[in-house]
Structure 1
Amino acid sequence: MEEALELREYLPQSFANASERVYLDFLWSAFQTNYTAERYEFASLAFHLLYMSFVSFSVWQIRLACPDQFAMAMVGFRSEEEGRLKDCDSPFKFYDRLKESQIFRFLKLIGCTNQQVGEFAKFVKSRNKIAHPTGTVFFNDKAAIDAEITKMMKEVRNIEAHMQPVIHELYRRFLTDRADDELWQFSTPGDELAANLVHANYMSATDLVFCQTFDVDSLDAEPGIHAMRSLHDALVSLCPPELDEAA
Structure 2
Amino acid sequence: MDEALELGTYLPQSFASADEQRYLDFLWSAFQTNYEAERYEFASLAFHLLYMSFVSFSIWQIRLAKPEQFAMAMVGFRSDEEGSLMDCESPFKFYDRLKESQIFRFLKLIGCTNQQVGEFAKFVKRRNKIAHPTGTVFFNDRPAIDAEIADMMKEVRNIEAHMQPIIFELYRRFLTERADDELWQFSAPGDEVTANLLHANYMSAADLAFCRTFDIASLQAEPGHVAKQTLHQALIALYPPEEAEAAA
TM bucket normalised to smaller: over 0.9
- 1: CA distance, partners of 2:189 / 2:16: 20
User: Which deviates more from structure 2 when the two are superposed, residues 160-169 or residues 178-187?
Assistant: 178-187
- 2: CA distance, partners of 1:80 / 1:189: 40
Give 2:173's aligned residue: 173
Give 1:233's aligned residue: 233
Does residue 1:51 correspond to 2:56, yes or no? no
- 1: CA distance, partners of 2:5 / 2:174: 29
SS in structure 1 at match of 2:201 = coil
Give 2:246's aligned residue: none
| Runs of 4+ more than 4 Å apart | none
SS in structure 1 at match of 2:159 = helix
Q: Among the aligned pairs, what percent are the same residue? A: 82
User: Which deviates more from structure 2 when the two are superposed, residues 199-208 or residues 213-222?
Assistant: 213-222
Deviation at 1:220, TM superposition (A): 1.6
Deviation at 1:237, TM superposition (A): 3.2
- 2: CA distance, partners of 1:18 / 1:107: 28
| Aligned residue pair count | 243
Deviation at 1:4, TM superposition (A): 0.4
Deviation at 1:238, TM superposition (A): 3.1
SS in structure 1 at match of 2:76 = coil
Within-5 A mapping of 1:152-167? 152-167=152-167
Which residue type is aligned with residue 122 of structure 1? K
Give 2:143's aligned residue: 143
- 1: CA distance, partners of 2:16 / 2:239: 22
Which residue type is aligned with residue 192 of structure 2? E
Residue ranges of structure 2 left out of the alignment (5+ in a row): 244-248
**Superposed CA offset, 1:137-165 (max 9, x none):** 11000000000000000000100111111
Give 1:245's aligned residue: none
Within-5 A mapping of 1:75-224? 75-224=75-224
**Superposed CA offset, 1:194-242 (max 9, x none):** 1111111111111111001111122122101111111112222332699
- 1: CA distance, partners of 2:81 / 2:231: 39
8 A contact 2:16–2:195 mirrored in 1: no
**Superposed CA offset, 1:169-192 (max 9, x none):** 110011011111122122222121
- 2: CA distance, partners of 1:142 / 1:47: 14
SS in structure 1 at match of 2:12 = coil
**Structure 2 CA distance for partners of 1:15 and 1:238, relative to 1, 3 Å:** closer
Deviation at 1:15, TM superposition (A): 2.1
Residue ranges of structure 1 left out of the alignment (5+ in a row): 243-247
- 1: CA distance, partners of 2:132 / 2:165: 39
TM-score (norm 1): 0.95
Deviation at 1:168, TM superposition (A): 0.6
**Superposed CA offset, 1:50-92 (max 9, x none):** 0000000100011111100100000111111111111211101
SS in structure 2 at match of 1:163 = helix
- 2: CA distance, partners of 1:114 / 1:125: 17
SS in structure 1 at match of 2:7 = helix
Which residue type is aligned with residue 181 of structure 2? D
Which residue type is aligned with residue 224 of structure 1? G
SS in structure 2 at match of 1:200 = helix
Give 1:65's aligned residue: 65
TM-score (norm 2): 0.95
- 1: CA distance, partners of 2:16 / 2:166: 20
Deviation at 1:123, TM superposition (A): 0.3
- 2: CA distance, partners of 1:238 / 1:102: 36
Q: CA RMSD in A?
A: 1.5
Which residue type is aligned with residue 218 of structure 2? S
